[in-house]
Amino acid sequence: MITRRNILAGITGLFSLGLFGKLRAEMTHDMQHDMPPGNKITTDKPAAKVSRQTNYTPVITLNGHTLPYRMKNGVKEFHLIAEEVEHEFAPGCVAKCWGYNGTTPGPTIEAVEGDRVRILVTNKLPEHTSIHWHGILLPSGMDGVGGLSQPHIKPGETYAYEFTLNQHGTYMYHPHADEMVQLAVGMMGMFIIHPKDGEEIPIDRDYCFVLHNWALHPGTYRPDPSIMVDFDLWTFNSKVFPAIEPMVARTGERLRIRMGNLSMWNHPIHLHGHTYWVTGSDGGRWPQSIWRPETTEIVGVGQTRDIEFIAYPGDWAFHCHMSHHTMNAMGHGIANPLGVDQADVARKVQSLLPGYVPMGRDGMAEHSEHLAMAEKAAKGEMDNMSGMRRACITVPVSRARVIPYR
């Protein structure tokens, strides 16, 4: 059951190739051979060997992974399973959500411009679903709008989407069936298409995030899909700081961050200590002649943005500049207690709202202890964290850690 109780502050790890290797067996079911796209199927065979194409810099999905595929008669075949998942937003803050292949957001799909892809979608939910490939140019019958361009995928059925990728850029996937519920409880993911001719400017590290919002009420175990604006949890890849893994690079490396917004709000995303170039959107990669330098870029609802920059040494914050998003559920509907002793106010409010933290306390200043904890974790000195506690609802901030060359 969700409570906004105190939890152990999370420890985030450094960059690891293990991010690419987290595979689940059910992602690689070998379904019936040579099925026409759009066919529903219900049987499967043992998993076949997964193949990967590596002539591009693979995308790093922080706190997530990339969906494996197999080559079958020249087609890259992926398998998504829509199902209920138990998701941990931060240590001790757990909810029953819906997602794909055991996670929310679902695994990132990566392919190359010109690829023919087949994506099998198995529905293990208690209601019908579909998947829309947001921003991708494809035949109408593959667009994933249940009741319009395809029949709904009923519980227990598997549906095959198949199309050729005729573009490259940063895209998303999500249901177009009972959207109010299915998006609200976590059904979403990123779809990255790499250019067939390679990058015009090589990228050293390529990160991606899905921005989302949630309504998690005290004493409940599921996100509330009926909430339209009064959200209390804002996430990067369905995690809140300090549970968000850091982006790590070396000084002088070129980084790209791909952001997709499937929340109900626009997000001005700010990176400290750098000026970055905005290089693409859900319309595709932009010509260099229209790249523009920014330190803050608004990612609108239903949009994607790509930014690129050269890494400078240091620890840098990366966050939405809407203060109430950065601070999450910090008592926005309660009178401002700034300038008074907040301890008594907090105690009284916490009796009604467990885990309440007054506005004006900590905010991003708490990063110092989290960074110290990360340093200790790297040295193996975090055997006993029982004395360090934080509220469940915390700051949705990532960070970029740039390691100087030695």
pLDDT in tens, 303-339: 999 999 999 998 888 888 766 656 553 333 334 444 5
Question: DSSP secondary-structure letter at 332?
Answer: T
Give the pLDDT score at 357. 52
Strand-pair category, 247-250 with 397-403: parallel
Q: Tell me the pLDDT tens digit for each residue of 106-120.
A: 999 999 999 999 999
Q: Is the pLDDT of residue 34 over 50?
A: no
Distance CA 354, CA 352 (A): 6
Q: Is the pLDDT of residue 189 over 50?
A: yes
State whether residue 396 is helix, strand or coil.
Answer: coil
The residue length of the chain stands at 406
Q: Which residues contact 158 (CB under 8 A, 6 or more apart)?
A: 31, 40, 41, 42, 44, 120, 121, 122, 123
Q: Tell me the pLDDT tens digit for each residue of 334-380.
A: 344 445 555 665 666 566 555 555 544 444 444 444 455 445 444 54
Question: Residue 17 — very low, low, confident or very high, per pLDDT cuts 50/70/90?
Answer: very low
Give the pLDDT score at 319. 84
Structure token digits, residue 168? 């490259």
Highest mean pLDDT among 99-103, 178-182, 214-218 belongs to 99-103
The DSSP string of 61-101 is ETTS-BPPBEEETTEEEEEEEEEEEEEEEETTEEEEEEEET
Least Cα distance to 83 among 173, 185, 177, 172 occurs for 185
Question: Residue 212 — very low, low, confident or very high, per pLDDT cuts 50/70/90?
Answer: confident
Distance CA 198, CA 218 (A): 49
The radius of gyration of the chain from alpha carbons, rounded to an integer in Å, stands at 21
Give the pLDDT score at 351. 64
What are the backbone dihedrals phi and psi of residue 2, each rounded to the nearest 5 degrees, phi first?
-75, 130
State whether residue 317 is helix, strand or coil.
Answer: strand
Question: Residue 25 — very low, low, confident or very high, per pLDDT cuts 50/70/90?
Answer: very low
Give the pLDDT score at 350. 62
Give the pLDDT score at 44. 36
pTM: 0.72
Q: Is 114 or 7 the better-scoring residue by pLDDT?
A: 114
The set of long-range contacts for 299-302, using a CB threshold of 8 Å and a minimum separation of 24, is: 299/211, 299/259, 299/260, 299/261, 299/266, 299/267, 299/268, 299/269, 300/261, 300/266, 301/261, 301/263, 301/264, 301/265, 301/266, 302/134, 302/261, 302/262
Q: Give the chain's domains with CATH numbers.
A: 56-196 (2.60.40.420), 206-403 (2.60.40.420)
